[in-house]
Amino acid sequence: MSAQSMPGKPAAPLEKSGPAGEGARRAGRITGLDLARFLALIGMMATHVWVTNSDGSTPALAAFLGGKAAALFAVLAGIGVVLTTTKQRDRRAFGAAALNVFGRGLALMVIGMTLGLVPGPIAVILVYYGLVFWLVTPLLRLSNVSLLMVATAWAGLWPFLSMLLRAPLNVGSELGTPSWLDLAHPLELLRGLFVTGTYPVLTWVVYAIVGMVVGRMLLVARERGTILQLSLGLTAVGSVLALLGVGISMLLAGPFGGLSSISASTGAGDRASELFYTAAFGTTPTQSGWFLASPAPHSGTTFDLAITAGTSLIAIGLCLAVCLRLGDATLRVLGPALGAGATPLTIYTLHVIVAGVTYTALVNGGALADAPELFWLVSSAPIWLIHVACALAVGAVFFWWRRRGPLEAAVTWTGQRFASLAEARRE
């Protein structure tokens, strides 16, 4: 969930800004970002409640969205860091801006640790996101060029460092959803959050840094009335980035002998390709350095980062362009989707609770053993569509009511209270 996902103002009526009707169609909001958040939200829902078919096969949609929906949210988080600290940065009140982001991250972690107590198979990402917010606070003063240099260098270096750190541990992904109960083992919790978890913070910070650059460019484009040009540029850059990630990975795997080396060093034989391309849980195997060439979702390799950052830029660019070209009447029809996109934290939380309770009742409770025909309630296209429909219903309420979601308001309030500490010192 991004910082801007918890909007600072209630939604206002649709209105145009800029010479071509670009920018915020609703006062203070950029509707293209709300649409992108909605797509990320329902994409994550698909990877949660439509993971397998009744015959055990993986749905094509889940396979395609694996890693991409969560990455889109992380890039949007970086954009949100910029949008929610704009006034403070304009005043060069970097201390207040840093405390604002710190407070928002803290609120996300509290919500995430509490959601971690909900039983179920969903790996809740909020605690990791909160820590990502903390990590980017020292970067608020950097220029766009410096941010891109940091993101590029870290995306290339960190996967190697991660493998070196994890190799002696001989562990795979050892942390899914953090909860308050994990505080009983603080060292293992920290190791999981930063290195060995499903969403390692030192990996996912790359997305937020990329988002910060996009957020700054978006503010300039809104002021100049050039958001359409920016959206096309984002789409083009994202396409190139994703294609390079896929292409170079394929070259390393085939012509350069990556798969053959993995097969020999691991004894996997014909399963080497499966190990190389199958979705991971935040980290790569450590038996061979060639796994660092994998493009697998959630593997955290340089190529995974390039592909998913690229698809995120494509999604954001297309959403910005679509919303700019739609008339106000059409945008009102999209109101429920835009409302859901402006209230993603509240909807995500409800989704996790409902999916977790359903899974626990049917699977852990043994109901599926007696009534396997109820499997669709755990994983299927219909149950995903039900979750999407509920998200749209909640989004419609908040869109037409012109109010923030309760959790969005809580995160905004926390950020503002922390920022006020710095403001008080300046007086």
Taking residues 402-420, report their average pLDDT: 92
Q: SS3 of 29, please?
A: strand
Determine phi and psi for 280, rounding to 5 degrees.
Answer: -100, -170
Separation CA 104–CA 82 (nearest Å): 13
pTM of the model: 0.90
Radius of gyration, alpha carbons of the chain: 21
Tens digits of per-residue pLDDT, 193-229?
Answer: 999 999 999 999 999 999 999 999 999 999 999 999 9
- Between 75 and 92, residue with greater pLDDT: 75
Task: State mean pLDDT over 90-116.
Answer: 94
In sequence order, what are the beta bridge partners of 221? Answer: none
Query: What is the percent of the chain where pLDDT is above 90?
Result: 70
What is the model's pLDDT at position 380?
A: 92
CA 322 to chain centre: 21
According to DSSP, the residues that pair with 29 across neighbouring strands are 26
Kindly state the tokens that stand for 265: 């060093």
- Whole-angstrom distance, CA of residue 52 vs CA of residue 54: 7
Cα–Cα distance for residue pair 360/284, rounded to 1 Å: 29
